[in-house]
Chains A and B, each alone.
Chain A
């Protein structure tokens, strides 16, 4: 439990918690750390911080201090690829990405965790691309001293599927790209898809190992798909031919190649005519022509998840609808915008 001391009687006592100082625009952090023994010279500083009373802690057997609680919570929340370097500061622990990859948040477990009184955890959105060292979440126990049981229950909730937070590394894929369309194949116009797709693939740490061009001929497209597979490609991107015209035959080509799972259409704009298919373990992504015009499309939402080892299917696509509307801003600030942030699965 907590006992309150008048500041004048606090000299010689140890502080029960960090005392935060905020100087607008200049400093925010602990002016005094937990455990600091209050001296005469501290009194004026503490008064300037608005402290006329201080807590002394006398923990009962079933009680726990916020710092110990924060460590229990952070340990339970953090899964593979999540680290923290400092102990609790002002009762809070910042969780960082331990490696480059895709942040995975167990949204249900996080909500259940935050339903427990006196604990909190705030995270980045599920499926956010992160770099090693990025701040991905913060957690703390709210009161200075609380009962141990709810903290342990919150920790159990956090561990329900192993952990709430993980960073999944992106594999380095050998990508085959097929650019479809008679207009490009016969040289009527210059292709612009290849550099765009190549740049996106490379930015995620993968490599384009095959680049082929196909006419609007489903059998030719199917042959190229099989050929790229045989050449060791483990992820195939197909551009063009995804729309509704009679010349748009890429889907038929993918089907002819033997795709065993195929999802055409995604609730995202731009990208509604996107396609995800699977040929055994090889993922095929059909990129509609919007990928030529828009800097960011549904491809940017799906590709990292595929590279993180996820099998994106009907449900995963369906849940992208919430937050799947790009505002098409003059200056694109993705990923710092709502696009693709509403998906909970």
Chain B
């Protein structure tokens, strides 16, 4: 794994700015990976062994994802919307899993770890670098039950919603009074009043649809 400082720099670049959350997130990811026995989680030979659950959509989450290489689209990153500054690191090979929680007291202790820095934001930045892991985090050993439908790899199952026809992948459907429904139809959604519409320039495409034909012609 790269050094803490290197990871912090690249994480801050990827996130958009350097902030106390980046420091905590990078350290959380380094600790979590170490606990499950992965010394270079984003490397080719380790990345498939790792699943990471993040429990908040804050700066820390980006740092954890950056350091571990876990990605939502690869199903190695899971977002649990708990509003808790924590992440769980699972080694799929060994089933070892540790939940690392950022301590609330670390915030209160910033002024004793960086007393010479007066501005609060910078004080937290510096203090979170200096605090030992034992001050910055609590750790729980946990069991994580992962079904086949949660694992990376190809889609294991597809069904269609009997209400709207939408295809639902990997057993995310719900059954209501015997009907298979997508979650928006069965449980309600974050949106409402969905109505299909047309929109301006509907035929736009990054690559024009006739480009393939033109390419074939030019080869002739």
What A residues does B116 contact at CB under 8 A? 315, 345
What B residues does A157 contact at CB under 8 A? 132, 134-135
Provide the bound-state CA to CA distance between A31 and B138, in Å.
38
- Of the 9-residue stretches B106-114, B198-206, B211-219, which lies at the interface with chain A? B106-114
Does A227 make an interface contact (CB < 8 A)?
A: no
What A residues does B113 contact at CB under 8 A? 108
What B residues does A160 contact at CB under 8 A? 132, 134-135
Flag if B112 contacts A108 (CB, 8 Å).
yes
Does A264 make an interface contact (CB < 8 A)?
A: no
Does B105 make an interface contact (CB < 8 A)?
A: yes
Interface centre among B103, B108, B109 (most CB of A within 10 A): B109
Does A327 make an interface contact (CB < 8 A)?
A: no
Flag if B134 contacts A115 (CB, 8 Å).
no
What A residues does B138 contact at CB under 8 A? 153
Place the interface of chain B in its size category: 10 to 19
Flag if A156 contacts B132 (CB, 8 Å).
yes
Beta-carbon contacts of A308-323 to B below 8 Å, as 1s and 0s? 0000000100010000
Flag if B108 contacts A115 (CB, 8 Å).
yes
Closest B residue to A111 by beta carbon equals B112
Does A107 make an interface contact (CB < 8 A)?
A: yes
Provide the bound-state CA to CA distance between A160 and B103, in Å.
16
What B residues does A108 contact at CB under 8 A? 109, 112-113
Flag if B132 contacts A344 (CB, 8 Å).
no
Beta-carbon contacts of B129-140 to A below 8 Å, as 1s and 0s? 001101100100
Closest A residue to B115 by beta carbon equals A344
Does A112 make an interface contact (CB < 8 A)?
A: yes
From residue 105 to 121 of chain A, which have CB atoms closer than 8 A to chain B? 107-108, 111-112, 115
From residue 133 to 162 of chain A, which have CB atoms closer than 8 A to chain B? 153, 156-157, 160
Return the contact of B109 from the options A115, A153, A315, A344 (Cβ within 8 A).
Answer: A115
Provide the bound-state CA to CA distance between A111 and B103, in Å.
14
Provide the bound-state CA to CA distance between A160 and B113, in Å.
12
Return the contact of B115 from the options A112, A156, A319 (Cβ within 8 A).
Answer: A319
Flag if A153 contacts B134 (CB, 8 Å).
yes
Flag if B134 contacts A156 (CB, 8 Å).
yes
What B residues does A153 contact at CB under 8 A? 134, 138
A72 to chain B, nearest CB (A): 14
What B residues does A112 contact at CB under 8 A? 105, 109, 112, 131, 134-135
What B residues does A344 contact at CB under 8 A? 112, 115
Beta-carbon contacts of A288-328 to B below 8 Å, as 1s and 0s? 00000000000000000000000000010001000000000
Provide the bound-state CA to CA distance between A344 and B105, in Å.
19
Provide the bound-state CA to CA distance between A344 and B114, in Å.
11
From residue 17 to 37 of chain B, which have CB atoms closer than 8 A to chain A? none
Provide the bound-state CA to CA distance between A115 and B134, in Å.
11
What B residues does A345 contact at CB under 8 A? 115-116
Closest B residue to A156 by beta carbon equals B134
Provide the bound-state CA to CA distance between A160 and B134, in Å.
8
Provide the bound-state CA to CA distance between A153 and B105, in Å.
14
What A residues does B108 contact at CB under 8 A? 115
Provide the bound-state CA to CA distance between A156 and B134, in Å.
6
What A residues does B115 contact at CB under 8 A? 319, 344-345
Provide the bound-state CA to CA distance between A319 and B114, in Å.
12
What B residues does A115 contact at CB under 8 A? 103, 105, 108-109, 135
Closest A residue to B112 by beta carbon equals A108
Beta-carbon contacts of B88-124 to A below 8 Å, as 1s and 0s? 0000000000000001010011001101100000000
What B residues does A319 contact at CB under 8 A? 115
Closest A residue to B130 by beta carbon equals A108
Closest A residue to B105 by beta carbon equals A115
B67 to chain A, nearest CB (A): 23
B107 to chain A, nearest CB (A): 10
Provide the bound-state CA to CA distance between A108 and B114, in Å.
9
A44 to chain B, nearest CB (A): 46
Closest B residue to A113 by beta carbon equals B135
A321 to chain B, nearest CB (A): 12
From residue 134 to 151 of chain B, which have CB atoms closer than 8 A to chain A? 134-135, 138
Provide the bound-state CA to CA distance between A112 and B113, in Å.
9
Provide the bound-state CA to CA distance between A52 and B134, in Å.
41
Footprint of A on B, CB under 8 Å? 103, 105, 108-109, 112-113, 115-116, 131-132, 134-135, 138
Which 4 residue pairs across A and B have the least CB separation, nearest first? A115-B105, A156-B134, A108-B112, A160-B132
Footprint of B on A, CB under 8 Å? 107-108, 111-112, 115, 153, 156-157, 160, 315, 319, 344-345
Q: Can you name 11 A-B residue pairings with CB atoms under 8 Å?
A: A112-B109, A112-B112, A112-B131, A115-B103, A115-B108, A115-B109, A115-B135, A153-B134, A157-B135, A319-B115, A345-B115
Q: A108-B112, A112-B109 are in contact. List 7 more A-B contacts (CB 8 A).
A: A108-B109, A112-B112, A115-B103, A115-B135, A160-B132, A160-B135, A319-B115
